[in-house]
Amino acid sequence: MEAKDQYKKILLIDDDENLVNTYSAMLERKNLADYLIPFSDASDGLSYIQSKPKADLPQYIVLDLYMPQMNGFEFLKRFQQLNEKQSEVEIFVCTSSKKKTDRDKVMQYPCVSAFIQKPLSIDFLELLIKH
C-alpha cells in the first residue's frame, strides 16, 4: 500500500484552462487531484511560492512558456532570484513551442529539468506525484 503522505505536489502554471481541467479531472479519477495546484497566471504562481515556507513548497512546477501577463521566461528569471527556494523545486517546462532557441534558453536555468512538448501524459503527472 502506498503512503499518500509521501506523495509530491505539483504546481501547474498554464493559461490553457481546458488543459488544466483535463489534467485535474484525470487525476481526480485516480484520487490524486489534491496533489495538483493549478494557476493560470505565472505571477500568481510565483506569489504562491513566495508565500510558502520551504517545507510547504511543491516539489515540482510544470510551467507553460507562452502566457499573457507574465510568461514562463519571466517566471524563471524571477524564480531564480528566490535563492533559498529554488533548490527545493524541480521545474518541467511544458510547451507547444518547438523552437530550439526556447529550449536552449530555459535549459540554462539549473532548476529546469526538462523541456517537454504539450500535452503531457497523465502518466507523467502521476509518476511525479508518486515518485
| Per-residue pLDDT tens digits for 27-57 | 999 999 999 999 999 999 999 999 998 889 9
Distance from C-alpha of 114 to C-alpha of 85, rounded to nearest angstrom? 19
| Domain 4-120 grouped into CATH 3.40.50.2300 | yes
Give the pLDDT confidence score for residue 96 in this predicted structure: 92
Calculate ∠ Cα 58-64-65, nearest 5°: 130
The domain segmentation of the chain, as residue ranges, is: 4-120
Q: Under a CB-based contact definition with an 8 Å cutoff, are residues 12 and 62 in contact?
A: yes
Q: Could you report the per-residue pLDDT of 72-113, keeping only the tens digit for each?
A: 999 999 999 886 666 789 999 999 999 999 999 999 999 999
